[in-house]
Structure 1
Amino acid sequence: MDLTAGAPVRYHSASGRWVLLATVLGSSLAFIDSTVVNIALPEIGRDLGSDAAGLQWTVNGYALSLASLILLGGSLGDRYGRKRVFLLGVTWFALASLLCGLAQNVEMLIAARVLQGIGGALLTPGALAILEASFAAEDRSRAIGAWSGLGGIGGALGPFLGGWLVEVGDWRYIFLINVPLAAIVLWVGAKHLPESRNPEAARTFDVTGVLTGAAGLAGLTYGFTAWPANGPGDPVVLISLAIGLGSMIAFVLAEQRSPHPMLPMRVFRNKAFSGANLVTFLVYAANGGVFFLFVVNLQVVSGFTPLASGIALLPTTALMLVLSARAGALSQRTGPRILMTVGPLICAVALVLMSRIGSDATYWADVLPAVLVFGLGLSTLVAPLTATALGALEDAYAGIASGVNNAVARAAGLLAVAVLPLAAGLGSGNLTDAAQLAPVYRNTMMICAGLMVAGAVLAFLLVPKRLPAKAPARSFCDPCAPPVQPRETASSAP
């Protein structure tokens, strides 16, 4: 590597390209596996003789452990080294994927999927934290934009790869292919990723914070996941949500009193950080509704084939690939407020257009224009939003900033899938009935457009024109080396 201790990585350097490659491939493992398994569920059910509940837990077990522990993953990276925890997560994920591929019954598969989620919780916040801590300040927004665009390609190709593997081979291949991909990430990461951590972080576990935080996220995740199938009045849903809410309140109280908290509550005093995460919640709630119902509407109401519906959003991915890094670079020059305000408004226009896609829709006249506008809006928004959520805090808190932002985005998506169809008037209706789905889809798109507008308003009010300059980084390349700067005082903390 061409890095010395504490030296920043430049975007156009060879080291910058290697760092980007390792983080994109690593985070894509967890992102793709959260969606590609859905394609193989019918084959898994036939092969393992599983009922619907077992198949549901094959999906939910992964989401539950990932969402429950993602804050812990970010905190561990800040304490023990982001590269170290990231590579541990990739290794864990690969071994769990191998267990998934070798599963002999659905119980073993569910257990392996839970283990996969733990690996995902270790590697997911680490990828963005490494970008934030490694790149030079003037290149971070561009690097995060490139990460967003390249990650979008992985998300788009994942379902096609999964479908092909299931069709030509066996459902087990969708898990086993993770092993050689993880090996590539480990080779590149071990050789080219710089190490960084927070030298001020305590080396002891915040046990109360870990337990209450995990219980809170697990309870909310399980409650929202069970809501659509069981209904809001189901005792399991109510108890899960009550445990989740109570545990999150206990988590906040515990972190305020802990001398070494997993999530220092003082980070939320930072207006830009809190504002970026509020915008994240609204925007990703809207995105959750779009990605949940858009493809279903194309098939059920508009009569598109599954393949045509699956590739309908590819122009959005292509635009993000081309424009995200440029939007990040523009945000670096103009400040994040403008793009974070304009981006959601463009998305809102796209969602109004999407709401008009009905039974007589054609791809070229109705779907493509809406998808292109949506891609333009997301390309304008995502990189500045992510860069602001990470860049608002000092580099020492990069891991926990990434963990918080990931947890907020995932919670918003879960809430959207559970609540939006109900809010749009579905009630006890059927999403596979065109007559019932059409008005629900139309209302949901309009609600999501409103969420995007609300996100734009919050961005304008809460996100500064420019992020304040940071003090020189206190994280460093060698985790065994001394800090490059004296210990911060309480007044210098975020």
Structure 2
Amino acid sequence: MTQAPVVTDKASDRIPAPRKSLRGHPWLTLFSVAIGVMMVALDGTIVAIANPAIQKDLGASLADVQWITNGYLLALAVSLITAGKLGDRFGHRQTFLIGIAGFALTSGLIGLSDGVTMVIVLRVFQGLFGALLQPAALGLLRATFPAEKLNTAIGIWGAVIGASTAAGPIIGGLLVEHVNWESVFFINVPVGVLALVLGLVILKDMRAENAAKSFDIPGIALLSGAMFCLIWGLIKAPAWGWGDAATLGFLGGAVALFLLFALWETRSREPLIPLGIFRSVPLSAGVVLMVLMAFAFMGGLFFVTFYLQNVHGMSPVSAGVHLLPLTAMMIVSSPVAGALITKFGPRIPLVGGMVFTTVAMIGMANLTADSGTAATSVWFALLGLGLAPVMVGATEVIVGNAPLELSGVAGGLQQSAMQVGGSLGTAVLGAVMAAKVDDLLPRNWAAAGLPELPPGQAAQASDAVAVGVAPIGKGVPGQLVPVITRVAHQTFVSGMALAFTVAAIVAAVAAVVAVFTKRGENAASGGGVHI
């Protein structure tokens, strides 16, 4: 049967039932979009491992290498909601396929680049194409799966993202070490081709009949400008200083543009984001919960990599292996979380997940420079157990409480909340770490009987210790090396403990916010689907 379903209030009537044909089959649709999303999630962490090799091979400056990451993140964060709107308007299948093709093409071109400027430009385009396919993936799942199976699908989708994100450092380390840095980008080409072929064969174009027919250009410009100012301000705040005029200017500009955007949206005939959707307390709670979860998780995980590599002296591959308890628990518990949320609703799993996350953060705040693999594995596993229901449940709460014709925008909101939360967590916890190191290092240095450092060297030493590196310069006597190393690592761990304590407080607040979530009100009601 290929006729459009009759519009009723039942999700089983509104959403096409599973068919024997390949096109539009729910579980095959999930498999198809998971391959594409896996490529983007993997790219989010795999490139960081290649940055030192890119810097050396292309003769890039530190600022150039930072732009390789920042250009991608900015393009992604700025365009996610607009990309979701494109999917709502033109169909999520089309935007997903364009995103896949563009992401794979730009990846291949980056591998062929012979200059860092071209790498940066192509990374920006990579971010734009990545923004196209991520909200589209959620929109396709929302339109394809019956309401009673959507949580399970999102659970599997979340497990793929978690596994791909955590596998990035391992795969990236192996490729850089045994092949070259270009292979980190070339690997996306065959994966992209596979995802594109599967998408052409399996994905079915489904769009809400009452989707907007025009674009809110001023709204897009205001929101994009606001997101750019916010993310750029957060990225640069650690280098500029939180009280610097440039930092305050960008963050203040973001607030002003967000206010102008909200004012414009109330007057636009077909707004980019109808502000009425935020009257849904569960949807708003889901967005806030996603921001707070990403703040605690991504901000905290930022220090874990330095702890494993610089304090414990692990290689990137070894550090990735030590994070496997986190990955494995997310893979296992994400589908289980989806099933539990389907049966009991999202509130209890979400509250429980953030409580587990809080406990894990407190546990990691008590790690020492000598903590072994057993101790870290316990807290990593508990963190994965806590994050899985939040990734699944908050996504369902946001997408499920939005009207079907705004499922792409809702998917963009979910992804934007993660980007903002992750950037905010990294910036704020980084500032907490730096402040603690600046305060503690001179005292620990003096207590160890080390010679006082001149002001310039003291500042450089603080910068090194803030990432777990012992500031051992040329000509340092051999007998002082272990003393300096011990002081540096102890100071770093103290700063990390404070950062994780702040993350634990944020996670605890998120547990309270999770109380206000509930199952999607629009998961089983609303407009029809045009096929």
- TM-score, scaled to structure 1: 0.91
1:463 maps to which residue?
A: 517
Give the match for residue 253 of structure 1. Answer: 263
The residue matched to 1:126 in structure 2 has which SS? Answer: helix
Output the CA distance in 1 between the equivalents of 2:285 and 2:20: 31
Matched, 1:339 2:349: yes
Aligned residue runs from structure 1 range 30-179, under 5 A: 30-179=40-189
* Cα-to-partner distance string for 1:65-110 (whole Å, 9 max, x where unaligned): 1100001011111111011111111112122212212222111111
**Per the alignment, do residues 32 and 305 of structure 1 end up closer, same or farther by CA in structure 2, a change over 3 Å counting?**
closer
Tell me the equivalent position of 1:277.
287
User: Deviation of residue 467 (structure 1)?
Assistant: 4.0
Cα deviation code 1:382-428 (max 9, x no counterpart): 21221111111222221111111110111011011111132353465
Equivalent of 2:16 in 8, 14, 20? 8
Q: Which of 317, 321, 340 is 1:307 aligned to?
A: 317
3-state SS, counterpart of residue 257 of structure 1: coil
Q: Does 1:450 align with 2:505?
A: yes
Q: Which residue of 1 aligns with 2:441?
A: none
3-state SS, counterpart of residue 311 of structure 1: helix
Does the alignment pair 1:403 with 2:412? yes
Q: Cα deviations across residues 360-384 of structure 1 (Å, max 9, x unaligned)?
A: 21111x1111112112212333212
1:377 paired with 2:383, answer no
1:192 aligns with 2:202: yes
Confirm whether residue 440 of structure 1 aligns to residue 495 of structure 2.
yes
Tell me how many residue pairs correspond in the alignment.
474
Residues 41, 244 of structure 1: alpha-carbon distance in 2 compared, 3 angstrom cutoff? same
Taking the aligned partners of 2:345 and 2:18, their CA distance within structure 1 comes to 20
Amino acid of the residue matched to residue 165 of structure 1? L
The letter for the 1-side match of 2:504 is A
Partner of 1:474: 527
> CA 1:229–1:435 in structure 2 vs 1: closer, same or farther (change >3 Å)?
farther
Change (3 A) 1:90 1:475: farther
Aligned-partner residue type, residue 39 of structure 1: I
Q: 1:99 to 1:240 in 2, by over 3 A?
A: farther
Unaligned runs of 5+ in 2: 6-14, 439-461, 469-487
Give the conservation status (yes or no) of the 8 Å contact 2:97–2:196. Answer: yes
Change (3 A) 1:122 1:17: same
Q: Distance in 2 between matches of 1:440 and 1:28?
A: 33
Q: Point out the structure with max Rg over C-alpha.
A: 2
Any conservation in 2 of the 1:302–1:358 contact (CA below 8 Å)? no
Contact 2:208 2:528 in 1 (8 A): yes
Q: CA deviation at 1:309?
A: 2.4
Q: Could you tell me whether the CA contact under 8 Å between 1:153 and 1:321 is conserved in 2?
A: yes
- Secondary structure, counterpart of 1:262 in structure 2: coil
Q: 1:360 to 1:164 in 2, by over 3 A?
A: closer
Structure 2 CA distance for aligned equivalents of residues 420 and 129 of structure 1: 33
Q: Distance in 1 between matches of 2:423 and 2:190?
A: 31
| CA drift at 1:141 | 0.3
CA distance in 1, matches of 2:17, 2:408: 18
When residues 434 and 475 of structure 1 are mapped into structure 2, their CA distance, relative to the original with a 3 A threshold, is farther
Moved over 6 A (4+): 11-14
Read off the aligned partner of 2:125 and give its amino acid letter. L
Q: Within the alignment, does 1:220 sit opposite 2:230 as a pair? A: yes
CA contact (8 A) 2:400 2:522 kept: no
The answer to whether the Cα contact below 8 Å between 2:355 and 2:511 also exists between their aligned partners in 1 is yes
Distance in 2 between residues matched to 1:265 and 1:17, nearest whole Å: 33
C-alpha distance in 2, partners of 1:116/1:161? 19
Question: Which amino acid in structure 2 is aligned with residue 476 of structure 1?
Answer: V
Preserved contact between residue 174 and residue 317 of structure 2 (Cα < 8 Å): no
Q: TM-score, normalised by structure 2?
A: 0.85
Counterparts of 1:75 and 1:363, CA distance in 2: 45
- Corresponding position of 1:389: 398
Paired residues of 1:34 and 1:62 also in contact (CA < 8 A): no
Structure 1 residues 117-138: Cα deviation after superposition (integer angstroms, max 9, x where no partner): 1101111111112111210110
Match of 1:242 in 2: 252
Which deviations, in whole Å up to 9, do the C-alpha atoms of 1:323-379 show, x marking residues without a partner?
211211111111111111111001111111111111121111x11111121122123
Calculate percent identity across the aligned residue pairs. 33
CA distance in 1, matches of 2:367, 2:18: 44
Q: Which runs of 5 or more structure 1 residues have no equivalent in the other structure?
A: 479-494
Distance 2:315 2:53 in 1: 20
From 409, 413, 422, the equivalent of 1:413 is 422
Change (3 A) 1:304 1:182: closer
TM-superposition CA deviations, 1:8-55 (whole Å, max 9, x none): 355999723321111111112222222211111111112211111111
2:358 corresponds to which of 348, 351, 354:
348
Deviation at 1:303? 4.7
> In 1, distance between residues paired with 2:245 and 2:206?
45
Amino acid in structure 2 at the alignment position of 1:145: G
Partner of residue 489, structure 1: none
